[in-house]
């Protein structure tokens, strides 16, 4: 009740000097994840985990983004004023749904798919998503995280799927669990790994050597730079976790 009351009485000033109450502007990464998880969870319950139906829903999500970019969702303006239907309920939710379809093979006792069938599914599903992403790349600015494009959703879902295949094969089937302890430690402190890059970036900016962290912003050089920085953040997360630094909601 207290939070509801504070929400009601709060007033702030916009850049134009207008006095307004709390209103949606941007949900933030965690908020967008929450929306996508909510939509996919409801769809999963609604169709009772039927993978065929879920795959059709994912196709609709991709179409939803394409339709929004073509102006077909203007009639939903009362909703889009609060949340971007095309991206949040479309491409971002499609990324989650791609993972739901992979995870669905591990559900049940015994699992819905045997190990060999699951490996084949993840391989062809991942490759199919990647090829679809390449085919749709000419639309809406290519692979763009900022705009949540169709090609971005499909390619990133593909990469995640194929990485899941590799770890499933090595850790679960081949028993390399001890060797994966490094990643398990990081996974237990995922929120710290999430916020750490921003912390390091802000501190480096204060120290005036931010350009040393990100000297390249595009192309293969930028991709290598991002890979190196990701590796450094993982190592730093592992060290902090071993030192007892935990970040939880």
Would you say the C-alpha torsion 82, 48, 163, 129 has a positive or negative sign?
Answer: negative
**Band of residue 188 on the pLDDT scale cut at 50, 70, 90:** confident
8 A C-beta contact, residue 132 and residue 71: no
Q: Which residues contact 216 (CB under 8 A, 6 or more apart)?
A: 222, 224, 225
Cα 73 from Cα 64, distance rounded (Å): 9
**Band of residue 154 on the pLDDT scale cut at 50, 70, 90:** very high
pLDDT at 81 over 90: no
Q: What is the pLDDT of residues 5-36, one digit of tens each?
A: 887 888 877 777 788 777 666 777 888 889 99
pLDDT of residue 212: 67
Cα 53 from Cα 44, distance rounded (Å): 9
């Amino acid at each position: 009740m207290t939070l509801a009351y504070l929400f009601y009485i709060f007033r702030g000033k916009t850049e134009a000097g207008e006095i307004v109450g709390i209103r949606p502007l941007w949900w933030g990464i965690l908020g967008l994840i929450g929306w996508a998880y909510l939509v996919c969870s409801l769809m999963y319950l609604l169709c009772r985990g039927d993978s065929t139906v879920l795959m059709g829903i994912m196709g609709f999500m991709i179409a939803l983004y394409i339709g929004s970019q073509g102006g077909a969702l203007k009639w939903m303006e009362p909703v889009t004023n609060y949340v971007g239907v095309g991206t949040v309920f479309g491409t971002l939710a499609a990324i989650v749904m791609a993972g739901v379809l992979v995870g669905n093979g591990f559900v049940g006792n015994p699992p819905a798919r045997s190990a060999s069938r699951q490996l084949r599914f993840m391989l062809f599903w991942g490759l199919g998503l990647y090829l679809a992403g390449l085919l749709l790349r000419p639309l809406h600015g290519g692979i763009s995280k900022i705009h949540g494009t169709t090609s971005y959703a499909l390619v990133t879902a593909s990469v995640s799927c194929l990485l899941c295949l590799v770890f499933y094969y090595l850790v679960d089937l081949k028993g390399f669990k001890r060797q994966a302890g490094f990643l398990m430690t990081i996974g237990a402190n995922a929120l710290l790994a999430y916020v750490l890059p921003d912390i390091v970036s802000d501190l480096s900016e204060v120290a005036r050597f931010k350009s040393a962290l990100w000297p390249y912003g595009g192309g293969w050089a930028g991709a290598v730079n991002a890979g190196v920085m990701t590796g450094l953040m993982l190592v730093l997360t592992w060290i902090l976790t071993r030192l007892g630094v935990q970040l939880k909601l």
